[in-house]
Amino acid sequence: MDIFSVITLFGGLAMFLYGMRMMSDSLKENSSGALKQIMERVTNNMFKAFLLGMMVTAIIQSSTATIVITSGLVAAGILTLRQSLGIIIGANVGTTITGQIIRLLDLNSSSTSWLQFFKPSTLAPLALVAGIILIMFCKFRKSDAIGTVVIGFGILFSGLMNMTNAVSVLSDKGVFDNVFSNLSDRPLIGYLAGTGVSFVLQSSSAAVGILQAFSVTGQVLFKGIYSILMGIYLGDCVTTAIVCSIGARPDSRRVGLINILFNLGKSLVVLLGMTIAHRAGLLEQLWNKPVTSGIIANTNSIFNLVSALLLFGFMPLLEKVSRKVIKDEVLPESPYQDKLTALNPQFFDTPAIAFRSCYDALLTMFDAAKPTFSGPLTC
């Protein structure tokens, strides 16, 4: 095995993950106030909530962040658990936009067209140059934030290029032959592998991006990717549920549990549907075909959209299940309980919600202290 190619592979993976984190964190920190205000206007119309969840996730490039924000709004009493259902579905669909961006890897085979500007080898340095110009030489409002997002985008694609180059070299040496053969022939192993990678990386988008990078080997077959994709989303939502459960109120923890139940239902729908379609002979031309980055991105988006449509009507049932699993806490009666329990460390990454919760708690403490000073002061 070429140790230098392995080092390049992991170095590219590190750049890819760092670029994605930089983009996501900057977008989240600089838009959380506006996004929170938009999300506060959610009604009981689940379709509108679905569109909202999809839009917010597409903007901040993180379904985990969207669901944690939703959990925070539920904990603060701004949203009800029922209102959060559509947002959860939308977040799972919106996260597929990252894969559609990464499919630009397929443009490496383009020749002399204007699409050459969108090839990662051209787009990455352009993004890095534009980002550093915005940070160092532009002084308008939000120039640093926009520059950070653009640089994160450039780092992400630089990491992807390093990964794909290293993967190509290792593939020529036969390193991945047995790995992808086992994943293609054993869907359960693929499912567990996707779950484990996503859980460790704490990002479904990153896990899908890695799968897209490995597709350049030509050894990733369609019959092997569908189970991996479903495992990726289960691993990501388990991480999200853990974050939502840290010191949170019951309804806030239920948001994370409903996300897990939805993804388990999505896995069941896709795995069952693919098995039936394959045995009926509907996928013969595609089943053993090597996939490209674009096919993975499209498959990912289609799976999530179809699952969302099929499971939309079952969300109230998942809400009932979550209420049975996570019981309401028996707390002493207090008019200040709701505002004080809305303070939670999980909201530190979302400043708009954290400040709102602190402000509400401060006003609540002022109200609680008023009776102490209502009478005349005596020495």
Per residue in 210-259, pLDDT (tens digit) is 888 888 777 788 888 888 888 888 887 776 777 666 656 787 788 888 88
Give me the mean pLDDT over the 270-294 stretch. 84
Q: Are 22 and 168 in contact (CB under 8 A)?
A: no
Residues forming beta bridges with residue 221, ordered by sequence position? 290
Q: Are 170 and 1 in contact (CB under 8 A)?
A: yes
Name the more confident of 95 and 372.
Answer: 95
Range name among 116-120, 291-295, 300-304, 305-309 with the lowest pLDDT average? 116-120
Structural domain contains residue 375 = no
Name the more confident of 61 and 260.
Answer: 260
pLDDT bracket for residue 126 (50, 70, 90): confident
Residue 365 has pLDDT above 70, yes or no: yes
Neighbours of 210 (CB within 10 A): 23
Structural domain contains residue 377 = no
pLDDT bracket for residue 345 (50, 70, 90): low
Residue closest to 68 by CA, chosen among 322, 245, 312, 260:
245
Residue 94 has pLDDT above 80, yes or no: yes
- Is the pTM above the cut of 0.85? no
Residues forming beta bridges with residue 290, ordered by sequence position? 221
Structural domain contains residue 106 = yes
Residue 24 exposed, middle or buried by CB count within 10 Å (0-12, 13-18, 19+)? buried
Range name among 4-18, 87-101, 175-189, 327-341 with the lowest pLDDT average? 327-341
Residue 108 has pLDDT above 70, yes or no: no
Mean pLDDT of the chain: 78
CA angle 57, 59, 63 (to 5 degrees): 20
Distance CA 275, CA 223 (A): 10
Q: Look at residue 37 and give its three-state secondary structure.
A: helix
The pLDDT value recorded for residue 248 is 63
Structural domain contains residue 376 = no
Range name among 13-22, 69-78, 106-115, 143-152 with the lowest pLDDT average? 106-115
Range name among 28-37, 88-97, 222-231 with the lowest pLDDT average? 28-37
Q: Look at residue 43 and give its three-state secondary structure.
A: coil
Q: Are 27 and 60 in contact (CB under 8 A)?
A: yes
- pLDDT above 90: percentage of residues in the chain: 1
pLDDT bracket for residue 35 (50, 70, 90): low
Range name among 73-77, 130-134, 264-268, 339-343 with the lowest pLDDT average? 339-343
What are φ and ψ of residue 152, in 5° steps? -60, -40
Q: Look at residue 221 and give its three-state secondary structure.
A: strand
The pLDDT value recorded for residue 180 is 59
Structural domain contains residue 105 = yes
Residue 378 has pLDDT above 60, yes or no: no
Distance CA 75, CA 254 (A): 10
Parent domain of 102: 3-326+334-370
The pLDDT value recorded for residue 379 is 46
Q: Within 13 Å of residue 202, how many CA atoms lie on the same side as its CB? A: 12
Give me the mean pLDDT over the 39-53 stretch. 78
Structural domain contains residue 10 = yes
- pLDDT above 70: percentage of residues in the chain: 76
Residue 146 has pLDDT above 80, yes or no: yes
Neighbours of 301 (CB within 10 A): 16
* Residue partners of 93: CB distance under 8 A and separation at least 6: 50, 53, 54, 57, 301, 304, 305, 308
Residue 112 tokens read as: 């002399």
Structural domain contains residue 114 = yes
The helix or strand, by DSSP H or E, that contains position 308, with its residue range, turns out to be helix 293-311
Structural domain contains residue 172 = yes
Number of domains in the chain: 1
Give me the mean pLDDT over the 279-299 stretch. 84
Residue 110 tokens read as: 């383009």
